[in-house]
Amino acid sequence: MGKKRFWKLQYSVTIFVVIGVLLMLAPVSIESSRQAYFISRWKEAFSRMEYVLQVIRTHISDDMIKNYNQASTPEEKEQIVLMLLKPYLRLSQAKLPRSYQIHYMDKKKAGSGDVWYFKEYYYTDNGLLVGIKDLNSKNAEEPVFIMMFDVNGLLPPNTWGKDVYGIVVYNTRVTAIGAEEPMDKLPQDCSSKGRGLYCSYYYLIGGEFEE
């Protein structure tokens, strides 16, 4: 009987230890799975945008290019870009609650004076929240406009590098934010001490989040 009780005690202790370890690992595992899902959604969105913009460049008319170039304000240009994208992304105007705010990875708020602040948002046909901003560039080598994608919609964390990513659109190409930066800057920005903007490109090339 003594041996049997001792075996049961050992068995119970082992079970408790295993449960304890699982409970400690569960939050990390859940967060890792959620981040992997966000990154997967971002990769899909980026691939889709590469294709969409390639199709638009192929079929855009001379009149449309002329109208864009003659538009007097970035807002007017944004409306032209929006019109071009709508048929492919099925964009619809999003009315956001006041509580919706995008933050950088270092916890700072993306303010109205930031380049990566967007006034208007739109839903895509697959539930992504999209922002579009024309940069009113005068040089053919400079970016034409930028876009942000909240792959989690209104749901938190609404943070750059977690569920928010972005692209930079040039006349001849589209890149993820960070593609033009030195490689050593990518993990620095894609960390809790950085803004998280460069995660957009860093994750596309297989980078991992830095604590």
pLDDT in tens, 68-90: 888 989 889 999 999 999 999 99
Give the model's confidence band at 14: pLDDT under 50 very low, under 70 low, under 90 confident, else very high: low
pLDDT in tens, 18-52: 444 444 444 546 677 889 999 999 999 999 999 99
Q: Say how far apart CA 209 and CA 211 lie, in whole Å.
A: 7
Query: For residue 82, with 0-12 CB atoms within 10 Å meaning exposed, 13-18 middle and 19 or more buried, which class applies?
Result: middle
pTM of structure: 0.83
Query: Does the pLDDT of residue 186 top 90, yes or no?
Result: yes
pLDDT in tens, 148-184: 999 999 999 999 999 999 999 998 899 999 999 999 9
Q: Say how far apart CA 187 and CA 198 lie, in whole Å.
A: 8
Length of the chain: 211
